């Protein structure tokens, strides 16, 4: 994802724009998400700050919150609606005022927030974060923080999930020693050395700008973490670092004027980092550094850290497009970084229909919008909706994120279906006086019986759908991986259909050679301008198939269904919904992991859903979209998957991984 290096004047304007950041001007326009908040109730829900005022006249409305001198405020996202803190300008510039955010839990968001200091040394970390669920996601998006005396962000060692930090700006005028992100603890080795053992959660930083940071810029440490499309200017100590991660990626990064550009290995313990048996491995691509020292290698137990790729010169100081240049710009969302952009992919659709009367409700980890046929009896929240539909009418909604909860029933109480993503289960219950009633469930991964299953319940050969029935108050529960596709109760009496959309982007590696490609999908297919893609006459679509070529640019396609074929004749980088995927995994649906030595541990995450295919036993597990296991020399573990395998978090453990379609 190469940044557009056109000089747009943003860097030259930053100083002037930052000198006037205490106003309360915002915007009159309401964002899509805010329009569902029914009068802005969510903006009034958070209290306990010194003063409030509502902005106007920018891209989306925001609230200005001014702290009094000596006032201390901590925002705990667990207490916020939908675990989200957004569209807020915090003025903590009063003497002794302290402000911080606790982002601990799963599926939380800090979005469109501007924070102005100086914050005193009592604030250890402005944002303390940790995703406690291995399948959970945390988001820091379109944030501007200026002037702190310690770390802007700190990630706890207990972090097990994934955190995205995108389109944000961090500037420090005090020059106190602090980090933009102290993000290495999730990679802490397992040892008795006074630090908690890291749980391996990943962090993806993209489109961010740092200036005058006196500690570390981006201090990483967990396998599969990524920093890309970022600019760092006037870094007094260290710009980039990978302390422990076996594979950490730095791509399309510019470092302008630093003491040390890239540190590999733990600077504190040097040769004696306890528990670290393998030296860190760092992959760089298009990383340009102007520093007193470009790279520093700190050996570990006699093993020198591995650097894959080379450092280049002539960095560009221009901030990435989308990174806000003032606190107001962040709070209002007017920088363009607060709407999710191409990294989140297109909205999915959920449709409720049927011949009988159906009551339904559902919730997502993102936002929900009405799409069609929504009546006054249907109700939408920020990330949830409910309604009644029947007599062959249809309710249709769009949503982003994951479908986290679902409940649907026939209005006469004959049968109820509930989905709980956190437990990975779907449960069906018949009414107390219900005659035998049939159902069908389909998912993108695997579905397996947990309880109440009998001979009339049949899972198909592929393992991704089940048809069955129940009566007289009986309950049946299934576990599932991946995403829900369909639930059908009483043979069309009540149905829910979920359509998942993705964007595939094909980026040339700028080697001067044209790369020609072909692809096919089972659903809809259309061109997209995601990731700066061009729409060219030489790229053609026919039904569910497309052909084209890239040379120095990017092509993107939005599609639904499965990606059944993908071929390319030269080197490219490929992305799904803005996240890089293993190109060789596209078009396949089975991943074979073959051992080359004893007890090799591996792990990876897929796009659309995963399931056990063959050879799975013991410690081999599939949870949602995540796969992990252990394989021995000469044996093979096989998993089925949809769409592709993400690069972030991929650890082959020294095994041989291949992909095929069956």
- Looking at the DSSP bridge assignments, the partners of residue 413 are none
| 22-26, 295-299, 479-483: least confident range | 22-26
Strand, helix or coil at 283?
strand
Structure tokens at 345: 């992919």
pTM of the predicted structure, to 2 decimals: 0.51
Half-sphere exposure of residue 252: CA atoms within 13 angstroms, side-chain side: 19
CA pair distance 257, 236, nearest whole angstrom:
8
Q: Locate tokens 């100083």: which residue?
A: 15
How far apart CA 18 and CA 337 sit, in angstroms, is: 18
Question: Between 28 and 649, where is the model more confident?
Answer: 649
Q: What is the mean pLDDT of residues 321-329?
A: 93
Give the three-state DSSP class for 162: strand
Q: What is the dihedral of CA 421, 644, 339, 544, to 10 degrees?
A: -110
Q: What is the pLDDT of residue 12?
A: 37
Question: CA angle, corner 530, sides to 249 and 534, nearest 5?
Answer: 110
Q: What's the whole-number average pLDDT of the chain?
A: 83
At residue 75 the predicted structure's pLDDT band, cuts being 50, 70 and 90, is very high
Select from 73, 86, 75 the least CA-distant residue to 37. 86
Residue 636 pLDDT more than 50? yes
What's the token pair of residue 226? 């990524």
Given a cut of 70, is residue 654 above it in pLDDT? Answer: yes
Closest by Cα among 366, 414, 411 to 388: 411
Rounded CA-CA distance 531/554 in Å is: 7
Name which of 53-57, 81-85, 344-348 the model is least confident about.
53-57
Residue 201 DSSP class: -
pLDDT: which is higher, 156 or 61? 156
Six token digits for residue 456: 């009339």
Q: What is the pLDDT of residue 273?
A: 57
**Please, are residues 128 and 103 in contact by the beta-carbon 8 Å criterion?**
yes
Sheet holding 545-550, edge to edge: 540-542, 545-550, 515-521, 563-568
User: What is the tally of helices (H) and strands (E) in the chain?
Assistant: 2, 51
Residue-level pLDDT at 435: 87
Q: pLDDT class for 170, splitting at 50, 70, 90?
A: very high
Cα–Cα distance between 649 and 639 in angstroms, integer?
Answer: 17
| CB-CB contact of 385 with 441 (8 Å) | no
Q: What percent of the chain has pLDDT over 90?
A: 55
Residue whose token pair is 């329009």: 35
Distance, CA of 385 to CA of 309 (rounded, Å): 48
Average pLDDT over residues 542-566: 91
Question: Which range, of 125-129, 145-149, 388-392, 579-583, averages the lowest pLDDT?
Answer: 388-392
Parallel, antiparallel, or unpaired for β 590-594 and 636-641? Answer: antiparallel
Give the 3-state DSSP-derived string for 454-469, with helices as H, strands as E and coil as C.
Answer: CCCCEECCCCCEEEEE
Distance CA 222, CA 56 (A): 41
- Mean predicted confidence (pLDDT) in 70-76: 94
**Residue 68 pLDDT class (50, 70, 90 cuts):** very high
Calculate mean pLDDT across residues 51-66. 58
Between 111 and 34, name the one with better pLDDT: 111
Cβ neighbours for 376, distance < 8 A, ≥ 6 positions apart: none
Output the pLDDT for position 43: 28
**Domain map (residue ranges) of the chain:** 10-42+49-330, 344-499, 501-581, 590-660
- Assess whether pLDDT exceeds 70 at residue 27: no
Is residue 260 within 8 Å of residue 215, measured between CB atoms?
no
Average pLDDT over residues 266-288: 71
pLDDT at 23 over 50: no
Mean pLDDT, range 372-389, rounded to an integer: 70
- How confident is the model over 376-383, as a mean pLDDT? 65
């Amino acid at each position: 994802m190469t940044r557009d290096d056109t000089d747009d004047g943003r860097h030259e304007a930053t100083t002037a724009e930052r000198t006037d950041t205490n106003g309360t001007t915002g915007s009159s326009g309401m964002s899509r998400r805010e329009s569902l908040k029914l009068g802005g109730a969510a903006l009034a829900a958070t209290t306990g700050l010194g003063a409030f005022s509502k902005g106007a006249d920018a891209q989306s409305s925001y609230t200005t919150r001014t702290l009094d001198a000596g006032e201390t405020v901590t925002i705990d996202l667990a207490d916020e609606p939908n675990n989200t803190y957004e569209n807020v300008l915090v003025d903590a510039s009063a003497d002794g005022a302290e402000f911080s955010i606790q982002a601990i839990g799963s599926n939380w968001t800090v979005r469109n927030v501007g924070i102005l200091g100086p914050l005193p040394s009592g604030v250890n970390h402005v944002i303390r974060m940790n995703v406690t669920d291995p399948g959970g996601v945390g988001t820091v998006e379109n944030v501007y923080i200026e002037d702190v005396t310690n770390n802007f962000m700190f990630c706890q060692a207990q972090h097990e999930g994934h955190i995205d930090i995108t389109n944000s700006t961090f500037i420090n005028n005090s020059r106190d020693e602090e980090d933009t992100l102290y993000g290495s603890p999730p990679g802490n080795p397992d040892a008795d050395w006074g630090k908690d053992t890291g749980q391996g959660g990943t962090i993806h930083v993209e489109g961010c700008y740092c200036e005058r940071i006196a500690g570390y810029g981006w201090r990483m440490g967990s396998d599969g973490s990524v920093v890309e499309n970022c600019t760092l200017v006037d870094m007094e100590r260290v710009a980039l670092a990978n302390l422990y991660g076996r594979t950490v990626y730095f791509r399309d990064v510019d470092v302008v004027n630093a003491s040390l550009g890239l540190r590999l290995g733990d600077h504190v313990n040097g040769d004696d980092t306890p528990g670290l048996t393998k030296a860190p491995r760092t992959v760089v691509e298009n990383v340009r550094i102007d520093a007193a020292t470009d790279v520093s290698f700190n050996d570990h137990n006699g093993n020198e850290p591995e650097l894959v790729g080379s450092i280049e010169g002539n960095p560009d100081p221009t901030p990435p497009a989308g990174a806000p240049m003032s606190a107001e710009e962040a709070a209002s969302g007017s920088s363009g970084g607060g709407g999710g952009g191409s990294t989140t992919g297109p909205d999915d659709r959920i449709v409720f229909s049927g011949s009988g009367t159906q009551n339904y409700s559902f919730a997502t980890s993102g936002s929900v919008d009405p799409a069609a046929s929504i009546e006054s009896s249907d109700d939408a929240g920020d990330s949830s909706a409910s309604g009644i539909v029947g007599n062959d009418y249809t309710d249709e909604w769009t949503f982003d994120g994951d479908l986290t909860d679902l409940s649907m029933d026939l209005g006469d109480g004959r049968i109820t279906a509930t989905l709980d993503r956190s437990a990975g289960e779907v449960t069906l219950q018949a009414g107390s006086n219900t005659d035998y009633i049939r159902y069908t469930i389909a998912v993108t991964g695997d579905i397996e019986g947990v309880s109440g299953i009998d001979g009339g319940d049949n899972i198909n050969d592929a393992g991704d759908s089940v048809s069955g029935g129940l009566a007289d108050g009986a309950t049946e529960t299934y576990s599932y991986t991946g995403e829900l596709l369909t639930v059908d109760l009483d043979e069309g009496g009540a149905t829910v259909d979920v359509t998942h959309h993705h964007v595939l982007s094909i980026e040339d590696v700028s080697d001067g050679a044209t790369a020609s490609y072909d692809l096919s999908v089972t659903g809809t297919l259309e061109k997209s301008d995601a990731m700066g893609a061009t729409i060219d006459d030489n790229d053609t679509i026919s039904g569910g198939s497309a052909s084209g070529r890239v040379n120095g640019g990017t092509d993107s396609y939005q599609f639904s269904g499965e990606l059944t074929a993908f071929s390319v004749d030269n080197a490219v980088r490929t992305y799904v919904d803005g996240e890089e995927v293993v190109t060789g995994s596209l078009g396949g649906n089975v991943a074979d992991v073959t051992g080359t030595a004893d007890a090799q541990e591996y792990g990876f995450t897929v796009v659309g859903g995963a399931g056990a295919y063959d050879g799975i036993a013991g410690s081999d597990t599939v949870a949602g979209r995540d796969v992990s296991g252990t394989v021995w020399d000469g044996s093979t573990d096989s998993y089925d998957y949809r769409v592709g395998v993400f690069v972030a978090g991929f650890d082959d453990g020294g095994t041989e991984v291949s992909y095929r379609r069956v």
